[in-house]
Amino acid sequence: MRYVLERIAFSLFALFILIFITFLLSHVVPGDPAIAAAGPNAGAEKIQLIRERMGLDQPFHVQFLTYGSKVLAGDFGTSWFTHQPIADDIMRELPPSLELVVLAMLINLVISFPVGLIAARYHGSSFDNGVRVVAIAGAGLPIFWTAILLQQKVAADWQLFPVAGRLSFAYRDFEGATGFYLFDSLAQARLDVFLDLIMHMFLPALALSLLFTAVGVRITRTSMISEFRKDYVVMARAKGASEARIMFRHVFRNGATPSLTVFGMQFGWMLGATVLVEEIFGRPGIGRYAVKAVTQSDIHAVVGVVLVVGLVFVISNMAIDLILFAINPRKARED
């Protein structure tokens, strides 16, 4: 119980740091926001007026508190380029991105765990060496480049997948209650829409996941290798357990724990990396929204994205840690 409370306290602390960073980003780093807001032709009086209206004449900590309470209440300000409340924008853009990241994460897990486990089992074999080299090389892949190449080759040239978008034109009127179309389409029993969504998501998710998968395979392999060296594996063999039983019942579960922490972090990083793929594949989402906001110099919209991605990150890490704690309290605390 103490661990759970500590972990939650740490997450709250992380949230505080997050708000502080975004406060710096939006209020301190860009110089005087009043001058920016007033426009180039404003006189000194107007700037002063705006400064008072924006609360910039207040002391630093008061400004921070005002900002913090607004953020916590879900008020991120209004976007300069969509003219909508930023919080609404983000709530609309977040579901497609989360769907994409979940699929990318699935690809990552489906590859990382078996490949890492088998490479570790046959440590030193040519398969293992091949995996190691590919994983090291793969960690140097520029995501946006892979995305363009995949789009050009697999989608445009070979026509195996749609080139861009979230849904085919035929389904343009599809709407869902949650915004998570994968979920919505299933809820409405629209299997055709569901498959269409997957077809559109596959290439971007693949492009997004390759770099992370390379890292995932490396981490899983390393932790599994160290597990295979422990005496409980000898013990399991001595008990007469088959290699398959040893791999899946014994080693996998122990070796997966450190990898899970990394995968928890990767979830947030992938969400951040959507800025590199969503634009290319013309998908709606928080990444494309952030890129647009940056090019439009809409600092508050960018900061909103930073906040939300950071929040997802804090939550996913806490969730992983608490899950690990629930599985095995002692081991989680040691790690």
Partner 1 sequence: MLLLALIGPYIAPFDPLAIDFRNRLVEPSWTHLLGTDGSGRDVLSRILYGAKLTILSTVTVIATVLFFGCILGIFSAFVGGTIDNFLMRIADVWLGFPPLILALGFAAALGSSLEAAILALIFSWWPTYARLSRMITVDILSKKFVASANALGVSTARKVTHYVLPNAFDILIIQVTLDISAVMLAISGLSFIGVGAQIPQPEWGAMIADGRSFTSKGWWVVTFPGLMIFITAMSFNIIGDMLRRELDPTLVTRH
Partner 2 sequence: MPGAASATNASRDDAVLKLENVSIALSATRTTMVHSVSLSIDRGEIFGLAGESGSGKTLLMRTLFGLHDDAIIESGRMTFKGAEISSSGHRKRVRKLLGHEIGFVPQDPFSSLNPTMRIGKQIREALYLGKGISPKSGEAGKIALDLLDEVGISEPELAVDQFPDQFSGGMRQRIVIAIALSQEPSILVADEPTTALDAFTQRRIINLIIERSRTRNLTVILISHNLELLRQNVDRIAVMYGGQLFNILDSGEISEGAAHPYTVALFNCIPRKDMTLGDIRSIPGEPLSAGYGLTGCAFSKRCGLRQDVCDSSLIPVNSALARSFDACLVKAGRQA
Give the Å distances, CA to CA, from 146 to 131, 138, 142, 280, 329: 19, 11, 6, 11, 40
Residues 26-45 contacting partner 1, CB under 8 A: 26, 29-30
Least Cβ distance, residue 276 to partner 2 (angstroms): 37
Compare residues 257 and 316 and give the one whose CB is closer to partner 2: 257
User: Is 313 among the residues that bind partner 1 (CB under 8 A)?
Assistant: yes
Residue 10 interacting partner from partner 1, partner 2, none (CB closer than 5 to 8 Å by kind): partner 1
Q: Which of 17, 191, 319, 327 binds partner 1 (CB under 8 A)?
A: 17
- How many residues form the binding site for partner 2 (CB under 8 A)? 21
Adjacent-strand bridge partners of 166 = none
Q: Which residues pair with 85 in a beta bridge?
A: 78
**Does the footprint of partner 2 cover residue 331 (CB under 8 A)?**
yes
- Residue 232: which of partner 2, partner 1, none does it interact with, CB under 5 to 8 A by kind? partner 2
CB 163 within 8 A of CB 156: yes
What tokens does 247 get? 């791999």
Please report how close the Cβ of residue 109 comes to partner 1 at its closest, in angstroms: 19
Per-residue H/E/C for 296-314: CCCHHHHHHHHHHHHHHHH
DSSP H or E run through 167: none
For residue 300, the SS3 value is: helix
Min separation Cβ 308 and partner 1, Å: 9
Q: Which of 43, 59, 231, 244 binds partner 2 (CB under 8 A)?
A: 231
**Which two structure tokens, joined as six digits, stand for 301?**
């919209």
253 touches partner 2 (CB under 8 A): yes
Q: DSSP letter string over 203-240? A: HHHHHHHHHHHHHHHHHHHHHHHHHHTSHHHHHHHHTT
| From 14-22, 57-65, 193-201, 235-243, span contacting partner 2 (CB under 8 A) | 235-243
Interface pick for partner 1 out of 4, 7, 10, 282 (rule CB under 8 A): 10
Size of the site for partner 1 (CB under 8 A): 55
Nearer to partner 2, 80 or 127 (CB): 127
Supply the DSSP string of 123-172, one letter for each residue: TTSHHHHHHHHHHHHHTT--HHHHHHHHIIIIIIIS-SS-SS-SS-GGGT
Rounded distance between C-alpha atoms, residue 87 and residue 308, angstroms:
9
In the block, residue with structure tokens 């709407």: 175
**223 interacts with partner 2 by CB under 8 A:** no
Taking only Cα atoms into account, the Rg of the chain, rounded to an integer number of angstroms, comes to 24
Residues 6+ apart with CB under 8 A from 25: 299, 302, 303, 306
Phi, psi values for residue 84, rounded to 5°: -115, 160
Which of 60, 232 has the CB closer to partner 2? 232
- How far apart are alpha carbons 237 and 249 in whole angstroms? 12
- Judged by CB under 8 A, does residue 190 bind partner 2? no
Binds partner 1 (CB under 8 A): choice among 269, 282, 322, 325: 269
CB of 186 to partner 1, least distance (A): 29
- Contact code string over 207-226 relative to partner 1, x by CB under 8 A: ----x---------------
Decide if residue 235 touches partner 2 (CB under 8 A). yes
Beta strands in 93-232 (DSSP E): none
Residue with token string 């095995």: 328
Closest contact distance (angstroms) between CB of 224 and partner 2 is: 14
Binding site for partner 1 (CB under 8 A): 10, 13-14, 17-18, 21-22, 25-26, 29-30, 123-124, 136-137, 139-145, 148-149, 151-152, 156, 211, 229, 265, 268-269, 271-273, 275-276, 279-280, 290-291, 293-295, 297-299, 302-303, 305-306, 309-310, 313, 317
